[in-house]
Structure 1
Amino acid sequence: MAILLVLALLAAAGGWWYVKSQAVRGAATGRPGGGPLAQPVSVGEVQRRDMRVLVSSIGSMNARATTVVRARVAGELQKIFFKEGDEVHAGQLLAQIDARSYRAALQQAQGTLQRDQALLRNAQLDLQRYQELQAQNSIAGQQVDTQAALVQQYQGTVTADQAQVDAARLQLEYTRITAPIAGRLGLRQADLGNVVNPSDANGIVSITQVRPIDALFAVPEAHVDAIARRLAEKRDMPVELWDREQRNLLARGRLNALDNAIDATTGTVKAKAAFDNAQGRLFANQFVNVKLQVDLIEQALTVPASAIQNNYVYLLKDDGTVTQRRLVVGVTDGDRVSVRGELEPGDRVVTDGLDRLREGARVSVIAADKVQQVDQAVSDAAARPRGARNLPPELRAKLATMAPEERRAYLEKLRAERAAKQPAGQGGAAAPAASAAR
């Protein structure tokens, strides 16, 4: 009799639980069996704000200038004064070539110049003496003319010697390799001890000027007229650069120019925008997502982008219910969309939980992350096997990693172990495992 009494109590408790669950389910779905249950939603406010008209495109970064630093004279590379990837300024010393032979050539040219300068001075003194004697009619005029020609010859020789000295000095200066432009260094192409030449294709290192830097991208020809007009009026056209996933803003700049022809194949025209790149986050040939602002709509009526579903929004009324409003959707700027319809600034529209609503549904406003947690909990519960919902969380996690056959065998074993521990006629504890096995 005691066993029968326990079974009756268990049956009554199960029946009460079933009726209660059906009532809650009926309230959630609107079916008979439960009163109206408020659906959890989050809301956003209708606002007036300036909306940018953006043209999205993809582009790549283009350095203002790129140069390969090559040796201007041949010789052994003795010293390197730069680190790969450094920022350098124009004229900065980068490397040193063995200069001994060029220094000797300069000294030789200077010696020749000094010798010929001495010969010139001597010839000029003789000419001066001959001219004095000619004034006294003590010397023939032909001798004076000959001496004057000799002076001019030495003057030409000295001029040529000076050019040789300047050339030798220039060759010696070329042994000091300096940066021709300011920019960012690439990877080193020559090592200490290498003999470098002006004809080396790779040179010693490359420099790209990336401060400032340009972005090249294409815009549809439908926007060419508006863009060209604003450029002609000297009006700023802001440009934003975003990373590949369009999650991080990389830089802001200004449109500089349009190309002079439209590509007939793609129906687009190339555009160039400038960025100061003060932090050095942009690199030559880097892929970027580009957003060009071609216009600005002032004080447009806007709603959160997540509130719109098939050109409708759910407007939250004062009595805690929602009603649909049809809208004409305009431009999107970030997480806001400009609209036209029966909305006023300050109205609240549903942004999360839209899939559970209908006209006139009662709602309860909660935070957006709470709505997501409710949705996830409902989804997880629906995905679980019916019997497994009664198992402890750690056991459900273990079963989730098993194959179907392995799971079935494990549950049968668990049921048998629990049945063996129970007194005769009390097998209720094993019921959840048995149902989960099915």
Structure 2
Amino acid sequence: MQKQNILPKVIITIAIVSAIGWWYWHKQEAAAQANNGSDTSQDRRGDKGAERGGKHGGNRGDKPTPVVVAAVVKGDIRVIQTALGTATPSAVVTVSSRVNGQLTRVLFKEGQLVQKGELLAEIDPRPFLTALTQVQGQATRNQALLKNSQIDLERFKTLQSQDSIASQQVDAQASLVQQYQGTVQADQGLVENAKLQLSFTRITSPISGRIGLRQVDGGNNITTTNPIAVINAVHPIHVVFTLPEDRVADLIAQIQTAKQAGKTLPVEVWDKANSKLLTTGHLESLDNQIDTTSGTVKIKAQFTNTDNALFPNQFVNVKLLSNTLHNVNVLPSAAIQQGSAGAYVYRIRQLGKGDKNGVETVAVQAVKLGQVDGDQVAILDGLNIGDQVVVSGIDKLKDNAKVVISSVSGERNAAERDHSGNKHKKRQHSQATQSPKANTFNRKVPLITSFGHVNQSN
């Protein structure tokens, strides 16, 4: 009976397991078919995209790149030495008392500009007035004694002529007169010294400049070792900077040339960010030796600083115009690229000989660079006058790449100037009149306006 009851249960269990297995297999099969259908659809779309890319991709790769070009022209390049400098006063004086005493008054305001001889402070003069009175009284007494001895000497000389007294007595009286004369002279020195000490109670400015913070207050007893304030002479003011020793020889030669012509080398000072011109001046002097630790020489430039643009210990950027190269091959710096082999440019191979659509080709041309002047650079070798090089649109180029010249460097600025007309010229004239700093170093560089056409600024 028990075996007969177990057999149906086993059959039912096998049937249930078989049903579950069949359901699971059917589900996996349906999922696999769905995935295959999706991949096939994607492959078809990919093939269609590839076909479209094949039709148009080749044309896109062959499409010429629009570029802006500039021509190599003759021009002037300024040789500008740049350095970091520090503004220093032309003179620094520590104001202190020359006598001991109580400081009764402080008459200056901290940070103000003071003039030479201006009264800054006073010391109690009463002790010095008393000393002057004493020495004046002593001098008056000794002068009276001298006068009396001189009268006696004249009497003795009269009696000697009458043989009434001995010559020894006359000689003794003459010696006494000389002693009193020496005493009177000493008294005069004491009086002058007392007056001088009294004048020292009035503390005046020894130079013109800007006075600093007060270091002692009124009412304090001070000595000659106590500083009262520090004065910096800022009209004129100096800027000290350094240049490498390999530039010293050329700089000295330029200084001598400028000196023979009665001129000095101009110097510009820009702010810490090197974005604003502060003032202009001239080269003042060079140090007499090279710093062996840094291999540099100290140079000092002088500035009138009438507008107080420079402040002592101010950090500035210095630009020294040491020379000007005339009639050199000039090119915009934007055209210069750097590679493993050095500097190069993209040169138009045969300008004007492209296809009917104006498509040109470019060639990689190695160049040797000279002095850089702002956005212009001197070309020493590799290019000739009139050669056209790419200055914009360079990122997509390579050797033998096809290009279309969209514009020439300088044409856009020329159009803007023509559009502005006389109004712009008047504004420029007004700015130049009000701010002479705008004409820095009187730069004369060529302006490229079209192929082979150069305007030389005056």
1:307 correspondence with 2:335 = yes
Q: Which residue of 1 aligns with 2:376?
A: 336
1:224 correspondence with 2:248 = yes
Task: Quickly say closer, same or farther: Cα 1:321–1:84, change in 2 above 3 A.
Answer: farther
Q: What are the within-5 Å matches in structure 2 for residues 28-427 of structure 1?
A: 32=59, 39=66, 47-200=73-226, 203-233=227-257, 234=259, 236-310=264-338, 311-313=344-346, 324=362, 326=365, 327-340=367-380, 341-342=382-383, 344=385, 351-356=391-396, 359-362=401-404, 364-365=406-407
In structure 2, stretches of 5+ residues that fail to align are 1-48, 339-343, 413-458
CA offsets, 1:194-228, max 9 Å, x none? 2221012xx01111223333333222222222223
Task: Quickly say closer, same or farther: Cα 1:99–1:324, change in 2 above 3 A.
Answer: farther
CA contact (8 A) 2:74 2:385 kept: no
Q: What are the within-5 Å matches in structure 2 for residues 423-438 of structure 1?
A: none
Task: Quickly say closer, same or farther: Cα 1:76–1:31, change in 2 above 3 A.
Answer: farther
CA contact (8 A) 1:70 1:205 kept: yes
Q: Give secondary structure in 2 for the equivalent of 1:306.
A: helix
The letter of the residue matching 1:329 is: L
CA contact (8 A) 1:38 1:364 kept: no
Q: Which residue of 2 aligns with 1:418?
A: none
Q: Shift in Å at residue 108 of structure 1?
A: 2.0
TM-score (norm 2): 0.64
Count of equivalent residues: 340
Task: Quickly say closer, same or farther: Cα 1:181–1:30, change in 2 above 3 A.
Answer: farther
RMSD: 3.5
Q: Shift in Å at residue 344 of structure 1?
A: 4.2
CA contact (8 A) 2:269 2:280 kept: yes
For 1:339 and 1:175, locate their aligned partners in 2 and report how far apart those are by CA, in whole Å. 69
Q: Which residue of 1 aligns with 2:14?
A: none
Q: Give secondary structure in 2 for the equivalent of 1:109.
A: helix
Task: Quickly say closer, same or farther: Cα 1:231–1:213, change in 2 above 3 A.
Answer: same
Q: Give secondary structure in 1 for the equivalent of 2:290.
A: coil
Q: Shift in Å at residue 57 of structure 1?
A: 2.3
For 1:113 and 1:152, locate their aligned partners in 2 and report how far apart those are by CA, in whole Å. 15
For 1:348 and 1:184, locate their aligned partners in 2 and report how far apart those are by CA, in whole Å. 56
Task: Quickly say closer, same or farther: Cα 1:367–1:339, change in 2 above 3 A.
Answer: closer
CA contact (8 A) 1:30 1:36 kept: no
In structure 1, stretches of 5+ residues that fail to align are 1-21, 371-438
Q: What are the within-5 Å matches in structure 2 for residues 7-22 of structure 1?
A: none
Task: Quickly say closer, same or farther: Cα 1:125–1:322, change in 2 above 3 A.
Answer: farther
Q: Give secondary structure in 1 for the equivalent of 2:181.
A: helix
CA offsets, 1:397-427, max 9 Å, x none? xxxxxxxxxxxxxxxxxxxxxxxxxxxxxxx
CA contact (8 A) 2:149 2:176 kept: yes
The letter of the residue matching 1:227 is: L
Q: Give secondary structure in 1 for the equivalent of 2:141.
A: helix
Q: Shift in Å at residue 352 of structure 1?
A: 4.5
Task: Quickly say closer, same or farther: Cα 1:130–1:277, change in 2 above 3 A.
Answer: same
CA contact (8 A) 1:50 1:298 kept: yes
Task: Quickly say closer, same or farther: Cα 1:128–1:38, change in 2 above 3 A.
Answer: same
